[in-house]
Amino acid sequence: MNATLSRFNIVSIVLGFTFLYLPIVLLIIYSFNESRLVTVWAGFSTKWYVELFSNQGLLDAAWVTARVAFISASVATVLGTFAALALTRYTRFRGRTLFTGMVFAPLVMPEVITGLSLLLLFVAIGLDRGFMTVTLAHIT
Instruction: Please give the angle made by the CA atoms of 51, 131 and 136, to the nearest 5 degrees.
Output: 130
pLDDT at 1 over 70: no
First to last CA, the chain: 49
Whether residue 122 contacts residue 134, with contact meaning beta carbons closer than 8 Å, is answered with no
Per residue in 31-44, pLDDT (tens digit) is 999 988 878 888 99
So where are the chain's domains? 1-54, 56-140
The Cα 137–Cα 119 span in angstroms is 8
Per residue in 19-76, pLDDT (tens digit) is 999 999 999 999 999 988 878 888 999 998 999 999 999 999 999 999 999 999 999 9
Radius of gyration for the chain, computed over Cα atoms and rounded to the nearest angstrom: 23
